[in-house]
Chain A
Amino acid sequence: MSDPTDSGKTSPHAAMSRDVHARPGRPVHAPVGTTNKSQAGPGGPSHAPSAMQELDEQHVRADRPVHAQARTLDVVLALLRKELLVELRTLESIPGMSLFAVTTFVVFHFALNQDTVSGQEAAGILWVTLLFAAMLGVNRLFVADADQGGFDGFLLAPVDRTALLIAKAIALLTYLFVLELIAVPAFALLLLGPPLGQALPGLLAPLALGDLGVAAIGTLVAAMVVRTRARDLLGPMLTLPLLVPVVIGCARATAPLLQTVHPGGLQLRWLGTLALYDLVFGLIAYAVFDFLLED
């Protein structure tokens, strides 16, 4: 971000312009190198100019990623700010998701005809509810962009398109975090048999890893279905099978924590599986997301 004129160019152009403004640096060093060479002649000291040039090139090379990263990071932050601002002003996703989760717990109470649940049953109810509530957020994630020209505006801007994926995923992650802040205590209050306090420290890691998986897959699927005719139908249809491994991992990891008698510890095997799954789908989303935004 050292060059203010640079920030307004497209990324391929920006690479070119960086080359251009890197060039003026060279003549400063080049004459020094050539004079050194002519003075010293063929011999040992000729290392000096080449070393200097190397240093110069290293400087230039090291400069580039910093430029690119800073720009993508700025774009991500700007997009994220916009996303959260829109959510704060419209309150379209988070209240709906939270209310849905609480209502679902009530429905579970009547459907199961039980006052309290524990163990695997509790883990299953918690994760199914969170997953379906997350689906509401996933379905709405890109709707405003598709309907109100946000995509066109973003595509016109000369920025890295991956920034949109990252910003949306972080926004979804934030929604999920707020959702869980409300839904997990509500679950403990309404349905959970054993006290939440003992299970909470262990719950944090599966919740975080589950959220990451939902955010990565949810963002990718949301972008995939938002410009189709039946997006409200296709979103959950695509997301649910893709999230089955996340549900397996999270429900199995948390089930021992929610036992009434002899609550067990966290099973690291499941956390490892979840982390691996999140990583792979994060990379896949990163690899294919650009192709969804080409027109």
Chain B
Amino acid sequence: MRLPGLRALSISTVAAFCVSLSLVFFYAPIEAEEGFLQKIFYLHVPLAIVTLAGFVIGGLMAIAHLRTRDQRWDMRSYVVIHMSLIFGVGVLITGSLWAHASWGHWWVWNEPTLVSFLIIFLLYATYQPLRFAIEDPERQARYASVFAITAGAFVPLNFIAVRLSASYVHPRVLGSTSNLPGSMMLTFLVSLVAMALLFATLCSYELAAKRTRILLKARSRILGFQ
């Protein structure tokens, strides 16, 4: 099986990470209030953005699946959500570390972004149990798509609801990216691109592996193994 895009994607991911990490450590200025700790911002925030985008994209792919009934869309939706879940663990860990370092607590209920992220993560954690509790592959794909659409719509709504409920006790240090100085903004954007490329590469690898496995199964059936 030839996979021409995969090599290019992998190389560009590695290159983007080299650039982004060198920008983070050698170019971006040390933040005045938080010092060196603030560097985790370049890891945590792109990770979170890519994860949430992955959840929403998984929902859009599920819509494509239900509209076209093309099983490949379901596989893409599954891979993207699955990868987002793995990235989500990273978001929670880096967020927790950052919260501990800057506020002294491992978990902060007053930070609406962190809390909404946890709720969304808990919801998506049921995606795989739901999916694999259904035997029939066609129904499994259909139900998983319905879940992905519902949960995809839940992502922004939940953010609005939790944000409304939070009282801003803690100052939101660098919470919004709009007031970043230029050099930090550049570093942040490069980190975001690198993280998105990493996400795309890992998804492509998983998709390629799944396709190869299906192909192998089909070939071995033709050849009469099993």
Flag the segment in B29-37, B95-103, B128-136 that touches A: B128-136
Chain A residue nearest to B66 (CB atoms) is: A291
Tell me how many residues of A have a C-beta within 8 Å of chain B. Answer: 34
Say whether A273 contacts B164, CB under 8 Å: yes
- The prevalent SS among residues of A at the interface is helix
A270–B162 CA distance with the chains assembled, in angstroms: 11
- Determine if A245 is an interface residue (Cβ-Cβ < 8 Å): yes
> Which single member of A229, A244, A273, A280 contacts B133 (CB below 8 Å)?
A229
Say whether A242 contacts B161, CB under 8 Å: no
> Which single member of A234, A240, A294 contacts B142 (CB below 8 Å)?
A294
- Determine if B157 is an interface residue (Cβ-Cβ < 8 Å): yes
| Chain A 215-252 per-residue mask, 1 if CB under 8 angstroms from chain B, else 0 | 00000100011011111011001101110110011001
With contacts A288-B149, A291-B142 taken as known, whether A227 is within 8 angstroms of B134 at the C-beta atoms is yes
> Which single member of A225, A245, A288, A294 contacts B161 (CB below 8 Å)?
A245
Residues of chain B with a CB closer than 8 A to A280's CB: 153, 157
A277–B123 CA distance with the chains assembled, in angstroms: 17
- Determine if B176 is an interface residue (Cβ-Cβ < 8 Å): no
A244–B164 CA distance with the chains assembled, in angstroms: 13
| Chain B 109-153 per-residue mask, 1 if CB under 8 angstroms from chain A, else 0 | 000000000011011001001100111101100110111011101
A252–B164 CA distance with the chains assembled, in angstroms: 10
With contacts A241-B119, A277-B157 taken as known, whether A228 is within 8 angstroms of B130 at the C-beta atoms is yes
A225–B158 CA distance with the chains assembled, in angstroms: 22
Say whether A242 contacts B165, CB under 8 Å: no
Tell me how many residues of B have a C-beta within 8 Å of chain A. Answer: 31
A292–B143 CA distance with the chains assembled, in angstroms: 6
Say whether B146 contacts A291, CB under 8 Å: yes
B118 to chain A, nearest CB (A): 9
Residues of chain B with a CB closer than 8 A to A220's CB: 150
A234–B126 CA distance with the chains assembled, in angstroms: 7
- Determine if A15 is an interface residue (Cβ-Cβ < 8 Å): no
B77 to chain A, nearest CB (A): 14
B27 to chain A, nearest CB (A): 40
A294–B130 CA distance with the chains assembled, in angstroms: 18
Say whether B149 contacts A284, CB under 8 Å: yes
Say whether A234 contacts B129, CB under 8 Å: yes
Please provide the chain B residues from 49 to 75 with a CB less than 8 Å away from any CB of chain A in the complex. 66
- Determine if B154 is an interface residue (Cβ-Cβ < 8 Å): yes
A259 to chain B, nearest CB (A): 17
> Which single member of B133, B139, B153, B162 contacts A284 (CB below 8 Å)?
B153
Residues of chain B with a CB closer than 8 A to A240's CB: 122
A252–B161 CA distance with the chains assembled, in angstroms: 11
Say whether B129 contacts A224, CB under 8 Å: no
Interface residues of A (CB under 8 A from B): 220, 224-225, 227-231, 233-234, 237-238, 240-242, 244-245, 248-249, 252, 269-270, 273, 277, 280-281, 284-285, 287-288, 291-292, 294-295
Q: Given A229-B133, A287-B149, A292-B142, output 6 extra A-B contacts at Cβ < 8 Å.
A: A229-B134, A241-B122, A245-B157, A248-B162, A284-B150, A295-B139
A-B contact pairs, 6 of them (CB 8 A): A224-B130, A224-B146, A248-B165, A281-B150, A287-B149, A295-B138
Interface residues of B (CB under 8 A from A): 66, 119-120, 122-123, 126, 129-130, 133-136, 138-139, 142-143, 145-147, 149-151, 153-154, 157-158, 160-162, 164-165
A-B interface, 9 closest residue pairs, ranked by CB to CB distance from nearest: A245-B161, A228-B133, A241-B123, A229-B133, A237-B126, A288-B146, A248-B165, A241-B122, A230-B133
